[in-house]
Structure 1
Amino acid sequence: MEDEENTKPNQIPDQSLQKKHQLMLERLSNRHQTRLETRKVDSLDSSTSAFLSRFNDSKNSITSHLQTTTDPSRLPDISASISALEKLVAENSYSLPSYEVRSSLKTISDLKQNLENLSAQLIPKKKFAFKNKPTKTQTQIPQNDVISEPNETKPKSNIWVRESPGFRDKQNEVLFRDFKGSEIGEFTLAGLDACEVRLVGCVNALFVNKLKGCKVYAGPVTGSILIEEVEDCVLVLASHQIRIHFAKSCDFYLRVRSRPIIEDCNGIRFGPYCMKYEGIEEDLEAAGLSEETGNWGNVDDFKWLRAVQSPNWSVLPEDERLGTVDLADLECGNGAS
């Protein structure tokens, strides 16, 4: 009985000490978490400041060239600078505040428009010429070939399409290109009608302009994809940043690090990336796109500023989506087409 009475008073201070100790640990943990969050915010602020400094320096340089250039041969250099600026935004978009991304892309859009206006002033328009409609064939371009673009058929676009490799002005053709082992920085698809395009491997940037009734199956793009004036198309694409302008009645199957951006579009639908070919997992890893972010369904419509869902795009119903697009099956004439 004595032992029992002696132990009871000792238990009270032990419990009190344990409670104080627990409270102290919680306070220390909260302080540590607060420090970590503060450091994270400071790091993000520092990263944003560094980006804005680089962005503004480049923007001011491009603006200066646009205002002073009188030689048409300098236009491709200005276009290259704008593309580099757009790549800078794409590489940093996932770590920037959304309003900074929007503002930067609006600036780039204005620069492109100014470049197009300057081009119209310095380069006289070519006369229209009819072209014979080719029959449907499969075309494979040799690895080191660079496709030239006739001046008279160059598409007019808000995107200044440079003399990069690409497929241009084709009808009813199956077009294939393997980028593996090449050093191609940019690739262009322009003026295609009822074509099927199959691109294997990685490329830094992809420009898509004036496609109608086409199917595009592409491996990962390490920078940006810019799309203008596409209608009744199916596009399977992976990239860090994807911007779509003047698209109508198209289905997009995407894997993208930042939110896709659309402008002046209607009747377009989105689903997850569904591409397959031998080595695609390694290509996605190399491009920093191995992880599915789910951003294919988080679309920003820059021409729809209301709080409710934009009526210009929707998520593809699961029962209407493509299955896996395996290029090996396509080449055999089977599977998705």
Structure 2
Amino acid sequence: MPSTAAAAAAEMEPEPDHTKPSTSAAAAGHRKHLAMLERLSKRAAAAAPAPSQDSPVAAFLSRFAAAKLAAESALSACRSSPDDAQPSLSAAAAAIDDLDRLVAEASHSLPPYELRSALAAASDLRAAHRLAASDLRPKKSFSFRNKSKAPKNPPQDPPPTLPPPPDQPNPSVEAILPGLGFRGRRDATLVKDLRVSDEKDGDFTLADLVSCQVYLKGKCRALHVHKLKDCRVFVGAVFGSVLIEDVERCAFVMAAHQIRIHEATATDFYLRVRSRPIIEDCCGVRFAPHALKYEGIGEDLRDAGLEEETGNWANVDDFKWLRAVQSPNWCLVPEEERLQTIDISDVQEREDDN
């Protein structure tokens, strides 16, 4: 009978221990709440339909949703269970790290819209985590201590800081951008064989060049390009990243792991790149496959991990174009207009001062 079962259940219910502080019972309840959230998160992840092996995007979205749910559950537990907030913060941080890792691993295969959405979601969760951590920090008690130490007779205002002398130069580009490089040249042919350089495999910089031909054989760790106009640049292999800023009416032929382009206008890029090229604030830029050779380039590409053609030269992400349709800021170079493979084997190292 229902009443008998209820009575039996009541008899089996342990009597509360009134000798324990109420805070212990609350903490136990909080831990049960956390355990429940964890079970729900795992259940949601297990219940998610298995993605098709033919769709890497669907597989990514499924894994991303599970990690996002875990992070949101842990952040919710921080607010609802203050006594166990620190473990929840740690769990949220680990889940957000998983999100960042998932996005990094899948960035080469995601369409631009999904990539931007995933980056925005991870960024929002990271901001929420910082806010939760800030709310949990102990607040400093109000005190007049600093005020009492103030001198009774404050000193007079210091004299105004004098401006620098008129002839004091601004920081040079060489001081800002690292590594070897060519800077401040016009109408010059600039050739560097990085394989025989005393500082090979380091950073290299091209800055403030006008109407120059630049040939870099070998490989470098990173390439920094700043303020070029009417230049043609040929680079062997970059086993790190390339950052290109403020270029106009130029052509670049290079291979690299990552390429990011800011403020480029009417410029062509012939690339072999491991990840998707990223453009921002660009107009009239065009992309085509890698078209460079010289004696030993195969070995340089293998050493840099760039021997395979990924096809990413045509998968460009415009971070300032948020619509699902094609960005008007870039296109592919028509096949009939593309450069033929350029052989720079016979170009000798020099710096012309024309």
User: Cα offset for 1:180?
Assistant: 1.0
Q: Is the 8 A contact 2:191 2:348 kept in 1?
A: no
The match for 2:238 is: 221
State the distance in 2 between where 1:278 and 1:298 align. 29
Decide which structure has the larger Cα Rg and report it: 2
The match for 1:232 is: 249
Specify the SS of the correspondent of 1:283: helix
The match for 1:164 is: 179
Q: What is the identity percentage for the equivalent residue pairs of Structure 1 and Structure 2?
A: 52
Q: Is the 8 A contact 2:235 2:254 kept in 1?
A: yes
Q: Is the 8 A contact 1:261 1:299 kept in 2?
A: yes
Specify the SS of the correspondent of 2:205: strand
Q: Do structure 1's residue 251 and structure 2's residue 265 form an aligned pair?
A: no
Q: Do structure 1's residue 265 and structure 2's residue 282 form an aligned pair?
A: yes
Q: Is the 8 A contact 1:270 1:315 kept in 2?
A: yes
State the distance in 1 between where 2:308 and 2:338 align. 20
Structure 2 counterpart of 1:321, from 338, 348, 354: 338
State the distance in 1 between where 2:348 and 2:123 align. 40
Question: Structure 1 pair 100/183, CA: closer, same or farther in 2 (3 Å)?
Answer: farther
* Structure 2 residues not aligned, in runs of 5+: 1-49, 68-102, 125-162, 350-354
Q: TM-score, normalised by structure 2?
A: 0.53
Matching residue's letter, 1:197: V
The match for 1:190 is: 207
Question: Structure 1 pair 215/91, CA: closer, same or farther in 2 (3 Å)?
Answer: farther
Q: Is the 8 A contact 2:272 2:289 kept in 1?
A: yes
User: Cα offset for 1:192?
Assistant: 0.6
State the distance in 1 between where 2:339 and 2:348 align. 17
Task: Give the 4+ runs in structure 1 shifted more than 6 A.
Answer: 34-37, 89-92, 104-107, 124-129
Query: What pairs with 1:95-134 in structure 2 (closer than 5 Å)?
Result: 98-99=115-116, 102=119
Question: Structure 1 pair 224/92, CA: closer, same or farther in 2 (3 Å)?
Answer: farther
Matching residue's letter, 2:244: I
Matching residue's letter, 2:255: A
Q: Do structure 1's residue 308 and structure 2's residue 333 form an aligned pair?
A: no
Question: Structure 1 pair 322/102, CA: closer, same or farther in 2 (3 Å)?
Answer: farther
Q: Do structure 1's residue 175 and structure 2's residue 175 form an aligned pair?
A: no
The match for 1:276 is: 293
State the distance in 2 between where 1:154 and 1:105 align. 34
The match for 2:224 is: 207
Q: Is the 8 A contact 1:93 1:101 kept in 2?
A: no
The match for 1:52 is: none
User: Cα offset for 1:237?
Assistant: 1.3
Question: Structure 1 pair 194/125, CA: closer, same or farther in 2 (3 Å)?
Answer: farther
User: Cα offset for 1:151?
Assistant: 5.5
RMSD of aligned residue pairs (Cα, Å): 3.9
* Structure 1 residues not aligned, in runs of 5+: 1-33, 50-88, 108-123, 130-149, 333-337
